[in-house]
Structure 1
């Protein structure tokens, strides 16, 4: 029965109360007390037996339980313990006919929200106890949720640091593999059948490099090229590609919002997120279904984000990717963004798709939330801070690449602590006509530069992370000796010394490992051919 009128409602319209008491007179008293309460609206149910009460509590259909201490041959303490052991999350108030300090302490230690003596209860005390118990339980849930978010964020951050370090080491290993295979292809005549072996090495290396790039995306150590774009335009540009990816059995529905705000992101990375989520959705609908991609503007206030303390209040642009697939369990959702975690059959997934999405969105200052239930499909919602700047286009310059490696005659100071990588780069550059000075660390490089103080060092090609002196500090000290030297950085990942918050510092030239011979030599030629700034003169 519904009891009372609602002035405030603790965030809900009706408080569902279950009274467990084997005395009907006590039920009538409790009902009458609740009738006198004007602040809350109640729906009071009454159960007199222990077994029925336990069954009702297991169904979890009430907001709060009032349990009498005496229940025939059993007692309320036993029911309290069984309920909590069974996973009851609603608050439980223990009632007793006579005050007993020991029972009071025992009940509170066991997990009761409150302890009331029947003869001393009036409607004010009962209302206050119910209200405080529900509010306190809500705060406990909120605190537990925030704690779980923090632990999950810390776990993903730790995994990201490990993944970034592994990716950095693998990129250093892949550089000579790719480089020497490419050198072999350039020296073997076309008719030699041995060329196919080198081509297969390069194919495998390319697949390995793609996996490494996904690890770097998860660890947020990729280079990003930020642009202010319109997400609707980006989705229109990849519409046909998405349809080909998901196949004919899945219907693609794109719902762009009108007057959508702009966002400052790396368009290529955001495209990768949409593609990864679309592929994940397709795999969740083996018998076909519907994939919906939609956008909208949303304004978050402080209150709406109280369970997301990492997010700042303000305007966001949301895009969501939803499917009508089989959904996910809570266990799967708990590990969803961890690298190499997959529910797919062996050989049908790397477990890096969603972790890549997580890293990319975080690197682009956004947030990703997931909503899913078994049998009810899944929705990923991505929130990106809205930008006031007018969007740019999302087209990429196509460019053309020549098969010829660029040549030069300048002097290059090559600094690299990985011997195989250093020897590869030196060999390639010498073959292309450059004079190469080699150093394995920054201290050795400065020593070499000092001995060549009278000559010109045109370019410093340096790794970022090295023992003794890092690449950034080396470039600053080198310019004291050779002020006109140009600088190119290389790294297995983009270090904070070169990249600040995922964005290249103005004027920084960078080559990501593992690099191709063409990519390295073209970058060197491009940097050396840039016109030097002419100092302003005064008259």
Structure 2
């Protein structure tokens, strides 16, 4: 009896350790399935965006040609303008899919994250309105990352717009920056190293929070919990695509009635003085009898280019 009792603490510790391992394995398996699901959706979105771009380019191109040939007094101009306006809106949605699918070629350069947030602060304040308090807490030193400035601004504006639609009156929207370590997750797909020095941008709001089901789907395109007229479901999908294109990582922490926190991790870079490149003046090419070869798999897009030329 005493011998059995003496072995009891060790057995309890072993059972607790095994249960912890099972929970951790289950969590990692779920993260891997989520990463694989997102990759499948991303590939589908990229292919769809390419096809839609070709169609919309032809519509906008021929619509613009038609508009340029019409007199301004022509009553049909209003119809053409409506076609062009709707086409441009569709093109913006398609561009969001391109960003999500990571098919864009980014022109990145060293950017101070703190400066980007400071310069975007006034615009974010307008987005949030008077009923939601905007708070910004920045790391005391510059935080340099290799990034596309416009995409970082879009990341902040998309999160601000998402919070504005769900945070009740009197809530808060808080942005902060700090130095941290890059987390390593299965199926992450980024080329960063685990525990690499990184900039951490935290975006916190005081909305009603979300359960695990919603949390697992928030970065999927066209998924939304808002009313139909209040969003396309692409805002957070674009955020996810932007972060992955910058070889970063994003995670969200939220539970019902506790608000939510988005954490963005971007690798830190050291800045160097830019090198100036001396170029000799180039003269204008003289021609007029050249032949232009138009190679394009979309008939409509190819015919448009030929008509313009």
Asked if 1:217 corresponds to 2:107, the answer is no
Match of 1:423 in 2: 303
Match of 1:269 in 2: 151
Q: How far does residue 209 in structure 1 lie from its aligned partner after superposition?
A: 0.6
Match of 1:229 in 2: 111
Match of 1:412 in 2: 292
Question: Is the partner of 1:387 in helix, strand or coil?
Answer: coil
Tell me which of 172, 178, 189 is aligned to 1:296. 178
Q: Counterparts in 2 of 1:308-319, with a 5 A limit?
A: 310=188, 312-319=194-201
Match of 1:342 in 2: 224
In structure 1, what is the Cα distance between the partners aligned to 2:117 and 2:273? 14
Which string of whole-angstrom CA distances, capped at 9 and with x for unpartnered residues, describes residues 247-296 of structure 1? 11111111111113310011111111110001111111132311111111
Aligned partners of 1:175 and 1:421 also within 8 Å: yes
Structure showing the higher strand proportion among its residues: 1
Structure showing the higher helix proportion among its residues: 2
What is the root-mean-square deviation of aligned Cα atoms in Å?
1.8
Aligned partners of 2:198 and 2:266 also within 8 Å: yes
Match of 2:140 in 1: 258
Which string of whole-angstrom CA distances, capped at 9 and with x for unpartnered residues, describes residues 66-105 of structure 1? xxxxxxxxxxxxxxxxxxxxxxxxxxxxxxxxxxxxxxxx
In structure 1, what is the Cα distance between the partners aligned to 2:110 and 2:104? 19
Asked if 1:121 corresponds to 2:4, the answer is yes
Match of 1:172 in 2: 54
**Radius of gyration: which is bigger?**
1
Relative to structure 1, the CA distance from residue 208 to residue 307 in structure 2 (aligned partners, 3 Å threshold; closer, same or farther) is closer
Aligned partners of 1:328 and 1:374 also within 8 Å: yes
Relative to structure 1, the CA distance from residue 309 to residue 292 in structure 2 (aligned partners, 3 Å threshold; closer, same or farther) is same
In structure 1, what is the Cα distance between the partners aligned to 2:150 and 2:55? 26
Match of 2:261 in 1: 379
Question: Is the partner of 2:16 in helix, strand or coil?
Answer: helix
In structure 2, what is the Cα distance between the partners aligned to 1:355 and 1:120? 59
Higher normalized contact order (CA 8 Å, seq sep 6+, divided by chain length): 2
TM-score, normalised by the number of residues in structure 1: 0.52
Q: How far does residue 411 in structure 1 lie from its aligned partner after superposition?
A: 2.7
TM-score, normalised by the number of residues in structure 2: 0.90
Relative to structure 1, the CA distance from residue 138 to residue 260 in structure 2 (aligned partners, 3 Å threshold; closer, same or farther) is farther
Q: How many residues were matched structurally? A: 292
In structure 1, what is the Cα distance between the partners aligned to 2:134 and 2:290? 54
Relative to structure 1, the CA distance from residue 338 to residue 156 in structure 2 (aligned partners, 3 Å threshold; closer, same or farther) is same
In structure 1, what is the Cα distance between the partners aligned to 2:250 and 2:60? 35
Question: Is the partner of 2:294 in helix, strand or coil?
Answer: strand
Q: How far does residue 235 in structure 1 lie from its aligned partner after superposition?
A: 0.9
Tell me which of 7, 15, 36 is aligned to 1:154. 36
In structure 2, what is the Cα distance between the partners aligned to 1:308 and 1:427? 50
Aligned partners of 1:338 and 1:355 also within 8 Å: yes
Match of 2:234 in 1: 352
Q: How far does residue 350 in structure 1 lie from its aligned partner after superposition?
A: 0.7
Match of 1:194 in 2: 76
In structure 2, what is the Cα distance between the partners aligned to 1:318 and 1:391? 25
